[in-house]
Amino acid sequence: MNNVTVVGINRTQDASICVARGPSSVYSLQKERVTRRKHHWGRLGDLPNFYLPRLPCLAEPVDLVVECYSSDSEYENLGAYHDELLAALQFRDEPRVTSISHHFAHLYSAFYPSPFSEAAVMIIDAQGSAVKDFSESFNGSSELAPDLLEISSFYRCDRGRLECVGKQVWDGDWDRPVGLGCFYYLLTRMIFPTGEGNEGKVMGLAPFGRPGSMGMPSLIVEDNKVFIPDEWLKLFEERDRFRFSDQRASFDECANLAAEGQYAFESALLRIATWLEEQSGASNLCFAGGTALNCSANGRLLREGPFDKLFIPPSPHDGGTALGCALYGLVECSGVDSEFRWAHDFLGPEPDRDELEETVRGASPDLIVEQPDDLVGRIVELLDGGRVVGLRHGRSESGPRALGNRSILADARHAGMQDFINFHVKGREWFRPLAPLVLLEAAAKIFDIDRPAPFMQLAADVRPEHRASLPAITHVDGTARLQTVEAENTPFLHAILTRFESRTGCPVLLNTSLNGKGDPVVETAEEALACLTTTSMHALAMPPYLVRKRVEPPVPSRD
């Protein structure tokens, strides 16, 4: 059975697909990378219209499809989805289609790809599956009303056993919200009421405020359950007071609310983690669900939490549940010992050389296309000269963080670089922080961290003696959301950083995702070239090519 092929599909927010072929080969793609609509939800038609054209391996026979839904209405279309699967896919034998509940898919995406043989697992988001659809049972689950929704789930795991040790559930009434996921969602909507996925803005804004300045109470934590005090619920009703884009809302008030809420969130998360460590007796923790994207909280969890080691997958949000579905199908349905470990996140489709060549041939006359003998050296020369360089090569990242294959690189030593990229490249708020890349062997010298951090999931202090020399990546609170770089998993990126250090003495570069204002991370060469031409980036590397503008944009100031 080692040649078994399992397709996992997430039908909810951040819709995604994963193909697991045998014990170690994995491909994963989010719908937003194809449709160019951020956080795009799953819908009928996704498989034939978006996934099949981008993942050629889906044209080969498959053994099993595993789906996951949440508590949204897409579950009502189950029959139509199954008809679509039968029409679009070729099954090796009799068609086999099954489904698992939302947090169970998160569990398989977090524990099985982790480096641990045993661990506690914590899943926290705004809402998952209904009780009647749970894939697992736990003490007291039979007494729950069938329509209650999971908002947090806790497990004790080893490679042969998964045990649920508790959940928090909710009736879905937003007049009576509970849980950490609901709390942070409401906090986000207070400050940024339009659009999806603005939680990262709140996290970036919080260091500009003062925790305690509003006198708000802590969240109520009872074992593994979190409740929102009335004072917070009343504050959440004052929507016009804190709208960031509204001229009536002051920046200080918005920042103070973000700071107060972030601190309350972090403090409650640490208390829940302590409960889970006591219940599980484990020394390792896996953490997933949408709240696991909160890098500031993750940094505190690592530094102050009760667990010795922490693993957060690169796609802890709903986009990663397709991979969890595929691994469930391998392990539980097909009896295959999964060898896949999430050591890197380059799980997208294989690069199409013909598409690259066609894109380069069709480049505008306003662009200069080169094939340098020393591409790495040329990139480093541009970076040291203050230029902003896009990098598109290899298989794309499956998660929301750009980790070197769909990235924008710049010199972190430039004081004006953060404003230049935020305003002229990304088109976003001035306070948004930008992340550093650092050679693993130099990380502990520059940042307060003692282990690899390859997925940009943790905020760590920039050591005080390096803050002034790295202004573009040091946030107002002295932290940075770093990515450590090793040759084994990111050889091209490692070569750039190594050469940059050799030239400048600095083993750090700025890294942000390759996309323009409001867009998802680019997937194709054509989208990468469009990002170059519609922003103030100076150059784009798509090995073996380097594309530059004939009329170069201004170079940001070093002052």
Domain count, the chain: 3
Q: Give the CATH number of the domain where residue 531 resides.
A: 3.90.870.20
pLDDT tens per residue across span 331-351: 999 999 999 999 999 999 999
Q: Give the CATH number of the domain where residue 257 resides.
A: 3.30.420.40
Average pLDDT over residues 395-414: 97
pLDDT band for position 191 (50/70/90)?
A: very high
**What is the three-class DSSP state of 223?**
coil
pLDDT tens per residue across span 5-28: 999 999 999 999 999 999 999 999
Q: In whole angstroms, give the CA distance from residue 219 to residue 265.
A: 8
Whether 39 and 155 share a structural domain: no
Taken in order 18, 19, 21, 25, is the CA torsion positive or negative?
A: negative
Structure tokens at 517: 């204002």
Residue 556 lies in a domain: no
pLDDT band for position 195 (50/70/90)?
A: confident
Residue 527 lies in a domain: yes
Q: For position 1, what pLDDT does the model report? A: 58
Q: In whole angstroms, give the CA distance from residue 43 to residue 490.
A: 34
> Is the pLDDT confidence value at 153 over 80?
yes
> Is the pLDDT confidence value at 183 over 80?
yes
Residues in contact with 496: Cβ distance below 8 Å, sequence separation at least 6, in sequence order:
376, 379, 380, 383, 409, 509
> How many alpha carbons lie under 13 Å from residue 477 in its C-beta half-sphere?
21
Residue 342 lies in a domain: no
Q: For position 337, what pLDDT does the model report? A: 93
Whether 74 and 163 share a structural domain: no
Whether 279 and 261 share a structural domain: yes
Average pLDDT over residues 276-296: 98
> Is the pLDDT confidence value at 242 over 80?
yes
Whether 99 and 121 share a structural domain: no
> Is the pLDDT confidence value at 247 over 90?
no
pLDDT band for position 552 (50/70/90)?
A: very high
Average pLDDT over residues 90-100: 97
pLDDT band for position 274 (50/70/90)?
A: very high
Structure tokens at 379: 């990139």
Whether 23 and 41 share a structural domain: yes
238-252, 323-337, 476-490: lowest mean pLDDT where? 238-252
Q: In whole angstroms, give the CA distance from residue 6 to residue 326.
A: 6
Residue 407 lies in a domain: yes
Residue 554 lies in a domain: no
CA dihedral 527, 533, 534, 540 (to 10 degrees): 60
Residues in contact with 120: Cβ distance below 8 Å, sequence separation at least 6, in sequence order:
154, 155, 156, 157, 276, 277, 279, 280, 282, 284, 285, 286, 307
Whether 61 and 153 share a structural domain: no
Whether 202 and 265 share a structural domain: yes
Domain extent, residue 150, equals 114-309
Structure tokens at 502: 């050799």
Name the E strands within 373-475: 389-392, 406-410, 435-439, 458-461
Q: In whole angstroms, give the CA distance from residue 374 to residue 329.
A: 45
Whether 137 and 210 share a structural domain: yes
Whether 118 and 99 share a structural domain: no
Average pLDDT, the chain: 96
Residue 340 lies in a domain: no
Question: How much of the chain exceeds pLDDT 90, in percent?
Answer: 94
pLDDT tens per residue across span 57-73: 999 999 999 999 998 88
Residue 347 lies in a domain: no
**CA geometry: angle at 15 spanning 12 and 21, to 5°?**
120
Residue 559 lies in a domain: no
Q: In whole angstroms, give the CA distance from residue 158 to residue 71.
A: 28
pLDDT band for position 117 (50/70/90)?
A: very high
Whether 166 and 305 share a structural domain: yes
In three-state form (DSSP H/G/I as H, E/B as E, the rest C), the secondary structure along 140-202 is: CHHHCCCCCEEEEEEEEEECCEEEEEEEEEECCCCCCCECHHHHHHHHHHHHCCCCCCCHHHH
Whether 166 and 218 share a structural domain: yes
Of residues 250 and 329, the one with the higher pLDDT is 329
Query: What pTM was estimated for this model as a whole?
Result: 0.96
Average pLDDT over residues 86-100: 97
Average pLDDT over residues 364-391: 98
Whether 164 and 286 share a structural domain: yes
Average pLDDT over residues 154-176: 96
Question: How much of the chain exceeds pLDDT 70, in percent?
Answer: 99
